Amino acid sequence: MDELDELYQEIILDHNKRPRGRGELPGATHTAQGDNPLCGDEIRVFVRLEGDKIADVKFIGEGCAISKASASLMTQAVRGKTVAQAKEQIQKIHDMFTGQGCCEHTSFDTDGEIAALGGVKKFPQRVKCATLAWHALDAALDGKPNVSTE
């Protein structure tokens, strides 16, 4: 395991142990339930929009370490951003796992802690765990009540 892998693993473990943005969000304007039947992860995302800005975002739910760490990283990454910026971030995460588009390669320098999710690419069966919270955020922003990775 190289140094970067170790750093990424530490970030995932830390966010799993001490999730940021966990809990219900009173006054949420948008919410969606994300299910990953493959692993049994269930993440509900709450968003409070003010105009086109994500004033706050939180999540509840249960799942494996990767799904929870990803949800935690997601709330940290998009809080305070505009809907357009959040959509860009969602696309970037998607591209990171599918290897398409301009943003296949993330780095810790430019992307911060969410680059750690890229480490999950080495475990294809866990990719849906890593993308679940982002799918749920996307659904919430689109006004869809739920989304499944199946």
Per CB under 5 A, 83 contacts Zn ion: no
Question: Which helix (H) or strand (E) covers residue 54, if one does?
Answer: strand 53-62
Per CB under 5 A, 35 contacts Zn ion: no
CB of 44 to Zn ion, least distance (A): 15
CB closer to Zn ion, 74 vs 129:
129
Strands 30-36 and 41-50, how do they pair? Answer: antiparallel
State CA 47 to chain mean position distance.
13
CB closer to Zn ion, 21 vs 34:
34
CA 35 – CA 136 distance, rounded (Å): 8
CA 126 – CA 6 distance, rounded (Å): 18
Cα→Cα distances 116→48, 66, 91, 111, 143, Å: 26, 10, 16, 9, 28
Piece of 22-30, 34-42, 74-82, 113-121 that binds Zn ion (CB under 5 A) = 34-42
Per CB under 5 A, 39 contacts Zn ion: yes
Exactly one of 16, 31, 33, 67 binds Zn ion (CB under 5 A); that residue is 67
CB of 8 to Zn ion, least distance (A): 17
Per CB under 5 A, 41 contacts Zn ion: yes
CA 16 – CA 27 distance, rounded (Å): 26
CB of 63 to Zn ion, least distance (A): 5
Interface with Zn ion by CB under 5 A: which residues?
39, 41, 64, 67, 129
